[in-house]
Each structure stands twice: as structure tokens, then as C-alpha cells.
Amino acid sequence: MKNLGLLILAFVLITSCNQNTGKTDGNKTVNTTVVSTDTIKDGVFIRITESYNDPHRVLMPLKIAVLMAKDKDVIVYMDIHAVELLVKGAKDINFADFESAQTYIKQLASMKVGVYACPTCLKIAGFKPEDLLDGVQVAQKEKFFNFTKGRIITLDY
């Protein structure tokens, strides 16, 4: 509702400010500019720090990422203990009514959602970038700001 009100206000202001007093064929010419907000989506930055000790705190944000990615720009950043889940040969994690962690990660990769591992945390855990699962990348700070043109909403687990 708020966005619709802002869009109407912007339209009224633009049309009232952009009137041309010159006449063409006896009719007043009015120049209007239409602003499209349909192409700008808000982004959701999801940070996951937990691992095997708290599967609910891992799977809930991964599920949210999949759901949000249907109509929002999403990025998933996994650090601290969560990097243990992102390497080849890692035991998959399951809990209650959720899909498994690796299932969500594959879904996110197929949706072109960035799933990133903290490079320092990866090193501390004894892993290298080449150990990461397919679809998972080493985090780069530029990706944190360039994944969306809209607002960035952060969820921290």
C-alpha cells in the first residue's frame, strides 16, 4: 500500500512539474515520465553461523532463502561453524519437517542464488576453497552489495 501511494504521489508531481506550455495543433502538450519500480527487487542477506549442533538454525534460514528467492534477490553467507556443512564429503544435516541442507543448497544454486563461505572460517576449519560443494563460493565483499539494486534486509541466524 505504501509503495502504491508513493508511486501515485510521484506520478502527480512529475505530471504537474513537466507540463509544456507550448501548443501543438491547438492542444496543450504534456510531457510525462513514467518511473518503473517493477525491475528493482529488494534483497535479502541471510547469514548462517551454526552447524550440526543446531540443525534448526541452519535449515530454517536455508528454507527462507529458497522461499524468498522466488521474488527477491537473495544471498546466503555462511561463516563460523556453518562452513563445515559446505565442503565435499560433509555429512548432510536433517531436522523435523525441513529438506536437508544439501538439498536446499542445490535448490539455491539452481536458482542462481549466491551461497558463500567465509574464507577465514574455512581456513580455520581446515578447508580450502577447492573443498567447497558445487554451487558454493568463497565470499567476496563486492557480492554483499552488488547482488540487488533494492533495499537489503538482513536475517542473522
Cβ within 8 Å of residue 48, ≥6 positions away: 57, 58, 61, 62, 76, 77, 78, 79, 82, 157
The answer on 89 and 18 residing in a single domain is no
pLDDT in tens, 40-65: 888 999 999 999 999 999 999 999 99
pTM for the full predicted model: 0.73
The answer on 150 and 115 residing in a single domain is yes
The answer on 89 and 121 residing in a single domain is yes
Buried b or exposed e, range 24-41, using 16+ CB within 10 angstroms: eeeeeeeeeeeeeeeeee
Of the pLDDT bands very low, low, confident and very high (cuts 50, 70, 90), residue 145 is confident
The answer on 94 and 57 residing in a single domain is yes
Averaged confidence pLDDT in the chain: 83
Locate 80 and state its grid cell. 563460523
Domain ranges, residue 20: 1-39
The answer on 33 and 50 residing in a single domain is no
The answer on 74 and 15 residing in a single domain is no
- The answer to whether the Cα torsion of 41, 47, 51, 55 is positive or negative is negative
Of the pLDDT bands very low, low, confident and very high (cuts 50, 70, 90), residue 67 is very high
- Total domains in the chain come to 2
